[in-house]
Amino acid sequence: MSDGKTILIVDDEPDAVAFAEAALGEIGEFTILTDGDGASGLAKAGEATPDLILLDVQMPEKDGFEVFAELRKDTATKDIPVVMLTGVGAKVGIPFSARDMGKFLGAEPNAYIEKPIEPSELQDTVAKLLAL
């Protein structure tokens, strides 16, 4: 079902990574790569050129906003679909969207999912972006 698709999960919370892996495992067999900080996650994206990136916002080394901006500037990674994952909106009480990110960063992620993540929302989003 996954046709050998590779997904990179960049998140510093091991529980969030395990959750995403379990949710994705229910919709297909993917090669899952993970990284716990933005700087090395960015490097891994450039090396592996995954089919999709799940990217947390709050991380050490480089935050998700910085990583996303750099992904879009690099010709090797600029077209990789990116799903931003964050709990920032819930923490500060201000809703945030992909469109808001586009205004802030000059480019919109393919999707934006607020934590805590509903498994079906993540699964539906990934399936849509990977045309499963």
CATH number of the domain within which 76 lies: 3.40.50.2300
Does 1 reside within a domain?
no
Locate 98 and state its tokens.
């992909």
Is 16 inside any structural domain? yes
Is there a domain that residue 85 lies in? yes
The whole-number pLDDT of residue 55 equals 96
Pair of tokens at residue 97: 């969207």
How far apart (Å, rounded) are the C-alpha atoms in residues 67 and 123? 23
Tally of domains within the chain: 1
- The answer to whether 87 and 116 are in contact (CB under 8 A) is yes
Contact 33, 39 (CB under 8 A): no
Average pLDDT score over residue span 63-77: 93
What is the domain range of residue 53?
6-129
**For position 62, what pLDDT does the model report?**
92
- Tell me, what's the pLDDT at 98? 53
Per-residue confidence at 115, pLDDT binned at 50, 70, 90? confident
